[in-house]
Amino acid sequence: MPLWCIRRLASSPEQVFDAALDAAARLGFTVSLADRPAGHLFLSQEHGPRRTHRFTVSVTDSGLGATVLYVSWETHLSPWPRSDARAAARLCRAIEGALAGL
């Protein structure tokens, strides 16, 4: 069952997508696929030699002067303190921080 995090941002979809790419690189995510026209970014993060966790970032223009950022991930039985929810929260904060620096 996928889990998700949604943020509403007051930036253009292009700015949010670029900020997501930048934040993912700074946090050590591997970009599996970046589909700019569709607003999808598929990321992975390795935890040890045999565990890869996948994340999906979707950027959508809400049509109401804001952009919606949707980050989803599959649940894993990761040992504490490393969890996908924490990684997704760090990614969302890093994207917001990158946008604040524009």
Q: Give all domains of the chain, ordered by start, each with its CATH number.
A: 2-100 (3.30.530.50)
Give 79-97 pLDDT, tens digit per residue.
554 678 888 999 999 999 9
- Interstrand relation of 30-35 and 40-46 (parallel, antiparallel or unpaired): antiparallel
Nearest one of 94, 102, 76, 101 to 7, comparing CA atoms: 94
pLDDT band at 77 (very low <50, low <70, confident <90, very high): low
Burial annotation 14-31 (CB, 10 A radius, 16+ → b, else e): ebbbbbbbbbbeeeebee
- Residue with token string 């990614």: 91
Per-residue pLDDT, 19: 96
Three-class DSSP category at 96? helix
